[in-house]
Chain A
Amino acid sequence: MVAAVLAESVAGDAKIVVKKFSVHYGAYTALSGVNLAVARNEIFSIVGPANAGKTSFLRVLNRMDALTSGMRYEGTVRFDGHDIRKWRNLYALRRRIGVVFPLPVGLPLSVFDNVAMAPRLRGVRHRDELEEIVERCLRRAALWGEVKDRLTALGSLLSGGQQQRLTIARALSQDPELLLLDEFSIAIDPVTTMKIEDVLLELKKEMTIIMVTNLVQQARRISDRMAFFHKGRCVEVGETAAMFDGDVRDEQTLDYLRGRFG
């Protein structure tokens, strides 16, 4: 129950606290036994091989389970101390959480409208203000230079890498308190990835970031703490630096981090 103790240690300033958590699709259990806490203004990464339950974890954090037939979770998840199961207006919750998918999804709207959608949903109407938000978010997502002359082009017809960054810009346009990144660099070249990693370190001052990645070096570069998920279980949670230094309880974790995995 070290994980539980760890959870308690950050609970005072925790953005997210997860206890006795499991995710199920019908009779199939995708993830179980998760107890962890994510502190305010930290980058928390979740690493692990495929089918570890990482994405399922993220999907519950913004309550996509409520919109996915057959999907449910058990245990409690607290967001700012509020149990998200008892949240009356899930849309208001999702508005505060930015999400970037592993596969890029540009909505079939103009690039501008893609990024302006979230501000519009929260009531921003003035063109000037929208333009300012769109430009700021596209710059942060390292996409502004490429699309500034074609903001009216369809977001769904951009290249894969561009759509990926458009998705990041869109998530940032929500001005989120919590940013969920699911393998955001899968369709982006290494140089751009580095640029975005720098932006994330910058954004940490404003928000909490939870990042699922299968690049352990990426987790090492930018995350403060991390969790290792494997075969539907949360094996270990700890300080990133310490874990990479070998301070782990389970040998599997170290094997995975050192790239010695089956």
Chain B
Amino acid sequence: MFQATALNRRNARIETGMRVAYLGMTLMLIVPVLLVLGVLIDKGAPALSWEFLTEVPLKGMTEGGIFPALMGTVALVLVALLASVPVGVAAAIYLSEYAPNTWLTRLVNLAIINLAGVPSIVHALFGVGAFVMFFGFGTSILAASLTLAVMTLPVVIVSTRESLRAVPQEFREACWTLGATRWQTIWRIVLPNAISGILTGVILEVSRTVGETAPIMFTGAAFFLPFLPQSVFDQTMAMSLHLFVISTQVPDVPEALPYAVALALIAVVLVMNAASIAFRVVLRRRKKW
């Protein structure tokens, strides 16, 4: 009796100890990053202003704002989305609605996993070899965006596939018995009920695309261009590369400037991610079946 109680007490102590240890490990991952974010805000926030966002960089990028980089990033992301979303959604439709359980389907899934795992700098090499040179787009927004599109394609495919699969199979069958074709069923029933999940995935993709640097370095992003690109065949500045450039390549940059760029970049990414998470939570509450 007494022994059993002692054992229980010992177990309870170990239990508590384990809980605290694991919580500690969790916090060790989170707290340092939060502290660093605090530093970024502390040093970068004073330099953030409306002018910072709307002015061009001045005096060898040691003064002025980030307007061309901001607009460049917007352009890169938009063109990348135009390329990757249609292909990614279509591929996800194939995998969720059509793909039979064969070696080819396995191969497609394997390709998607590997596409997501290829290092970003290798994507950059591919972009140079394929889009810049082979297809002759030169170093341009088009080449850089296509490189980004290839790189983030798995994000769209996987998130879309999952939201399509979440639509119950009975709905498809009910629709088929009415004489709807597979495509009519997808168009009228499956896609409308998966669209919010797909959008969540697209937002995630945007946040991923905004921060990418290596894939655009040699395919279309320029170190310094004090004006806006006129077409997709022009080069452009980008926020991510701008941060790299002013923090490593340019002498005599005032300390606050790169902090402000890093902060702006992080803000965009975190806001997009928070939006996609909020979107998901709202969706989970608003059930349609």
Contacts and interface: CB of A to CB of B under 8 A. Distances in A.
Q: Verify whether A and B have any Cβ pair under 8 Å.
A: yes
Contacts of A174: 178-179
Interface of A: 62, 64, 67, 69, 91-99, 101, 103, 105-109, 117-118, 121-122, 154, 156-157, 167, 170-171, 174
A94 B289 CA distance: 25
A107 B189 contact: yes
B174 to A, nearest CB: 4
Contacts of A69: 100-101
Contacts of A108: 171, 189, 192-193, 288-289
A105 B173 contact: yes
B180 interface: yes
Interface in B166-181: 170-171, 173-181
B105 to A, nearest CB: 11
Contacts, number: 68
B54 interface: no
Contact of A91 (B170, B179, B192): B179
A154 B170 contact: no
B288 A157 contact: yes
Interface of B: 100-101, 170-171, 173-182, 184, 188-189, 192-193, 288-289
A91 B181 contact: yes
Given A105-B170, A108-B189, A118 B178 contact: yes
Given A103-B170, A156-B288, A64 B176 contact: yes
Given A107-B175, A118-B179, 19 more contacts: A64-B176, A69-B101, A91-B180, A98-B177, A99-B177, A101-B173, A105-B170, A105-B171, A107-B171, A107-B174, A108-B289, A109-B189, A117-B175, A117-B178, A121-B178, A121-B180, A157-B289, A167-B174, A174-B179
A108 B192 CA distance: 9
Given A105-B174, A107-B174, A117-B188, A94 B179 contact: yes
27 contacts: A62-B177, A64-B173, A64-B176, A67-B182, A91-B179, A91-B180, A94-B177, A94-B178, A94-B179, A95-B179, A96-B179, A97-B177, A98-B177, A101-B170, A101-B173, A107-B175, A108-B171, A108-B189, A108-B288, A117-B175, A117-B180, A117-B188, A121-B180, A122-B179, A154-B289, A171-B177, A174-B178
Contacts of A157: 288-289
Given A107-B189, A108-B171, A154 B288 contact: yes
Contacts of B176: 64, 67, 94
A108 to B, nearest CB: 4
B89 to A, nearest CB: 20
B178 A95 contact: yes
Contacts of A101: 170, 173-174
Contacts of B179: 91-96, 118, 121-122, 174
A174 B175 CA distance: 12
A64 to B, nearest CB: 7
Contacts of B182: 67
B177 A64 contact: yes
Nearest to B188: A117
B128 to A, nearest CB: 43
Contacts of B175: 107, 117
Contacts of B181: 91
Contacts of B184: 121
Contacts of B100: 69
A94 B175 CA distance: 10
Listed from nearest, the 10 A-B pairs whose CB atoms lie closest are A95-B179, A99-B177, A156-B289, A94-B179, A105-B174, A108-B288, A118-B178, A105-B170, A91-B181, A91-B179
Nearest to B167: A108
Residue of A106, A108, A122, A154 with highest tally of chain B CB at under 10 A: A108
A61 B63 CA distance: 75
A234 B83 CA distance: 56
A93 B180 CA distance: 11
Contacts of B173: 64, 67, 101, 105
A79 to B, nearest CB: 14
A98 B174 CA distance: 10
A122 B180 CA distance: 9
A241 to B, nearest CB: 31
A211 to B, nearest CB: 15
B110 to A, nearest CB: 20
A39 B173 CA distance: 27
A64 B173 CA distance: 8
A106 B193 CA distance: 14
